[in-house]
Chain A
Amino acid sequence: MPLLEVVDLHKIYTMGDTEVRALDGVSLSVESGEFIAVMGSSGSGKSTLMNLLGCLDRPTSGHYVLRGERVSDLNRDELANARNRLIGFVFQGFHLLARTSALENVELPLLYAGVSGKERHRRSRKALELVGLGDRMDHHPNQMSGGQQQRVAIARAIVTEPGLLLADEPTGNLDTRNSHEIMGIFQKLSDTGMTIVLVTHESDVAAWARRIVWMRDGHVLSDEPHEPGSPVHPPPIDPGLSLGVP
């Protein structure tokens, strides 16, 4: 059984009388332990897909099964629970709580999981040490670099040991050196068995992944295994797949 499976996923935004088909029939299956990069030009629906996978949004139609559970059948509390325990999400813009220490930012998911104070501390420390911030626990976001902030966000995403890590352009706001560090952490997590799906439009970031999904206009254009480290090329445009695109 795959870790997650989406079938014929559609997401349609209606604005006035114009319809935007952000996702137009996406099917995807992810096995446990995979390391996937989702690529594609801006507006191709990558973020929309990630938000649906992260249970942050609901599709217009289509199926999403996560660990054998149909996500569309879950109520708001159960969705919150899934986000808390099954999924870690890393955003392009970090989304850390301001004027709150790194440690407390990382503790946040555990707070909603009902973990006791002592245990929260222990696990948050461990997560921060894993991302190499063992000496920055008391720092506030405004006292840290972008790369450090993103590492705090990663620690927060993995602190509940969710098994699935989703990252939407995690290096989008970072320079090359910081990007490289972040990818090193993802690689380390992947080596421990964590399933990772990350969105990027930088080929040297995608090069770390073992599977690359290309998207275009709400469709999956190609979905191929990839040898980590080898260069990433856009797929040849297949007239049969790129419907109506010049």
Chain B
Amino acid sequence: MNLFETIRVALRAILRNKTRSFLTTLGVVIGVAAVIAMVAIGEGAKAEVEKSFASMGSNLLVIMSGAHRAGGASGGSGSQLTLTWEDLEAIRTEVPSVRLAAAGLRGNAQIVSDEQNWSSQVTGTSPEFFDIRNWPTTDGALFTAVDVEAASKVVVLGQTVAARLFSVGSDPVGQMVRIDNVPFQVVGVLAKKGQSPMGQDYDDAAFVPESTFQRRIRGGLQKFIAGQVHVAATSQAGTTKAEAELRALLRDRHRLAPTAEDDFSIRNLAELASAREESTRTLTTLLASIAFVSLLVGGIGIMNIMLVSVTERTREIGLRMAVGARPRDILAQFLVEAFTLSLGGGAIGIVLGLWAAEWLSAKFQWPMQVSPDIVLLAVGFSAAVGVVFGLYPARKASKLDPIDALRYE
């Protein structure tokens, strides 16, 4: 008997007992749906993490004064400043895997427009900073190297600050704001950046030239950088190399003895991102394995019902053999039946899983992402489940003796 006829016979057997066939596949339906939904949610979480790290800049390194401390890096008030403006210059010119570097001097300040006032974080930096952070403007322009040179009183606003200070219709570019009572002209508004992986709003910030910051907002020191240095490595893969080169350079410049600890700390955000991704991946794997176990249980359900079916249809099998069915015809019939059941269950499960993922993400605002890979995997796995768990009942059927099967009561 050819495959087409075998499939036809199997389909008839399945359709002859619709309710039971459906209940048989239910295990696989639920298993596949669980795999799809769990992985979609896990992948969604991963993509979210990736996105928030990507918005920080995927090849970003941050250098701070002071050694690493438990619970994160230092560099805040009270600690000894060790990074100098000359260090920054050396980083820019002497480290091959560094593409750009910029200082970031930070302080909170009151920003007042004609309409509103808002307390935000003000950063003194240079134009490279926006390139490092991959952060363009939507309105106006960035300040320039000339503004830094001249210590111009110009400011670039983040989206949140712009929205707080100016009403919807009005264009902030060209208007005046006062930062800690010093008048600044708004030259640009930055594109929306979103949240940091820790949930902080990147757009609640304003940026001024570093020279202006030191002169007008926080009286800085001539030699030391009272803040962080942001560095863009030449590539994401190059961040580890850049970190090593930066460490060597700074240790050398700070004349640290080989046994001495670093008097600065470097945070490699690409590494941080991959660690975060790793942990969400673990979560995805965990969820997926639980779901796969349920798929396995679904397979055992199919095997169970197929065994019952073989027993129930023993006389039918005997008759088929009596009129000329070979053992392999019987094997194929039951195998195709199990295969069709589990594949059909898989198909229903995919639809159900996608729907469940959609529903969950809408209901709980969870991000979700369906990759075709996992759909294919679920289909393949459910087909495999059918073959593996259908094989035993099918073999059992094919090994029956015609006369024993015919006489079975």
* Contact of A77 with B326 in the complex, beta carbons under 8 Å: yes
21 CB-based A-B contacts, threshold 8 Å: A54-B322, A56-B322, A77-B328, A80-B325, A81-B324, A81-B326, A83-B321, A83-B324, A83-B402, A84-B323, A91-B406, A95-B318, A97-B319, A109-B323, A109-B324, A112-B324, A112-B325, A112-B326, A114-B1, A114-B2, A156-B323
State whether the Cβ of A99 lies closer than 8 Å to any Cβ in chain B.
yes
The 5 closest A-B pairs by CB, nearest first: A84-B324, A112-B324, A109-B323, A80-B326, A57-B403
Chain A residues 78-98 with CB under 8 Å of chain B are 80-81, 83-85, 89, 91, 95, 97
* Contact of A76 with B326 in the complex, beta carbons under 8 Å: yes
Most chain A CB neighbours (cut-off 10 Å) among B9, B320, B322, B328: B322
State whether the Cβ of B251 lies closer than 8 Å to any Cβ in chain A.
no
Expressed in whole angstroms, the Cα–Cα distance for A2 and B327 within the complex equals 30
Expressed in whole angstroms, the Cα–Cα distance for A114 and B1 within the complex equals 5
Residues of B within 8 A of A12 (CB): none
State whether the Cβ of B50 lies closer than 8 Å to any Cβ in chain A.
no
Chain B residues 1-59 with CB under 8 Å of chain A are 1-2, 5, 9, 16
Chain A residues 49-108 with CB under 8 Å of chain B are 51, 54, 56-57, 76-77, 80-81, 83-85, 89, 91, 95, 97, 99, 108
State whether the Cβ of B315 lies closer than 8 Å to any Cβ in chain A.
yes
B325 closest partner in A (C-beta): A112
* Contact of B320 with A112 in the complex, beta carbons under 8 Å: yes
With contact pairs A76-B327, A97-B316, A114-B2 given, residues A83 and B322 touching in the complex (Cβ less than 8 Å): yes
State whether the Cβ of B147 lies closer than 8 Å to any Cβ in chain A.
no
Most chain A CB neighbours (cut-off 10 Å) among B320, B329, B403: B403
In the assembled complex, how far is the CB of residue B89 from the closest CB belonging to chain A, in whole angstroms?
Answer: 86
In the assembled complex, how far is the CB of residue B62 from the closest CB belonging to chain A, in whole angstroms?
Answer: 74
Residues of A within 8 A of B325 (CB): 80, 112
**What 20 additional pairs, Cβ within 8 angstroms, besides A89-B323, A111-B9?**
A54-B322, A56-B322, A56-B406, A57-B401, A57-B402, A76-B326, A80-B321, A80-B326, A80-B329, A81-B324, A83-B322, A83-B402, A84-B323, A95-B319, A95-B406, A99-B16, A108-B319, A109-B323, A112-B1, A112-B326
Query: Which A residues contact B (CB, under 8 angstroms)?
Result: 51, 54, 56-57, 76-77, 80-81, 83-85, 89, 91, 95, 97, 99, 108-109, 111-114, 156, 160
**What 1/0 flags go to B312-340 for Cβ under 8 Å of A?**
00011011111111111100000000000
Expressed in whole angstroms, the Cα–Cα distance for A108 and B326 within the complex equals 13
The answer, among B320, B327, B403, B406, for a CB contact under 8 Å with A108, is B320
Residues of B within 8 A of A97 (CB): 316, 319
Expressed in whole angstroms, the Cα–Cα distance for A54 and B402 within the complex equals 11
In the assembled complex, how far is the CB of residue A173 from the closest CB belonging to chain B, in whole angstroms?
Answer: 15
In the assembled complex, how far is the CB of residue A98 from the closest CB belonging to chain B, in whole angstroms?
Answer: 8
* Contact of A112 with B323 in the complex, beta carbons under 8 Å: yes
In the assembled complex, how far is the CB of residue A235 from the closest CB belonging to chain B, in whole angstroms?
Answer: 29
Expressed in whole angstroms, the Cα–Cα distance for A109 and B401 within the complex equals 18
Residues of B within 8 A of A84 (CB): 323-324
* Contact of B323 with A51 in the complex, beta carbons under 8 Å: no
Residues of A within 8 A of B329 (CB): 80, 112
Residues of B within 8 A of A89 (CB): 322-323
Residues of B within 8 A of A51 (CB): 403
Residues of A within 8 A of B403 (CB): 51, 56-57
Residues of A within 8 A of B326 (CB): 76-77, 80-81, 112
A80 closest partner in B (C-beta): B326
A88 closest partner in B (C-beta): B323
Residues of A within 8 A of B318 (CB): 95
In the assembled complex, how far is the CB of residue A47 from the closest CB belonging to chain B, in whole angstroms?
Answer: 10
Residues of B within 8 A of A111 (CB): 1, 5, 9
Residues of B within 8 A of A91 (CB): 406
Residues of A within 8 A of B2 (CB): 114
A108 closest partner in B (C-beta): B323
Residues of A within 8 A of B322 (CB): 54, 56, 83, 89, 95
B404 closest partner in A (C-beta): A57
B319 closest partner in A (C-beta): A95
With contact pairs A97-B316, A114-B1 given, residues A85 and B327 touching in the complex (Cβ less than 8 Å): no
Residues of A within 8 A of B315 (CB): 95
* Contact of B327 with A77 in the complex, beta carbons under 8 Å: yes
Expressed in whole angstroms, the Cα–Cα distance for A80 and B325 within the complex equals 6
Expressed in whole angstroms, the Cα–Cα distance for A180 and B71 within the complex equals 100
B17 closest partner in A (C-beta): A99
A157 closest partner in B (C-beta): B323
**What 1/0 flags go to B385-409 for Cβ under 8 Å of A?**
0000000000000000111001000
Expressed in whole angstroms, the Cα–Cα distance for A25 and B9 within the complex equals 42
Expressed in whole angstroms, the Cα–Cα distance for A156 and B323 within the complex equals 8
* Contact of A113 with B324 in the complex, beta carbons under 8 Å: yes
A104 closest partner in B (C-beta): B12
B318 closest partner in A (C-beta): A95
Residues of A within 8 A of B320 (CB): 108, 112
Expressed in whole angstroms, the Cα–Cα distance for A80 and B5 within the complex equals 18
B9 closest partner in A (C-beta): A111
A51 closest partner in B (C-beta): B403
Residues of B within 8 A of A99 (CB): 16
B401 closest partner in A (C-beta): A57
Residues of B within 8 A of A108 (CB): 319-320, 323
* Contact of B324 with A85 in the complex, beta carbons under 8 Å: yes
Residues of B within 8 A of A85 (CB): 324
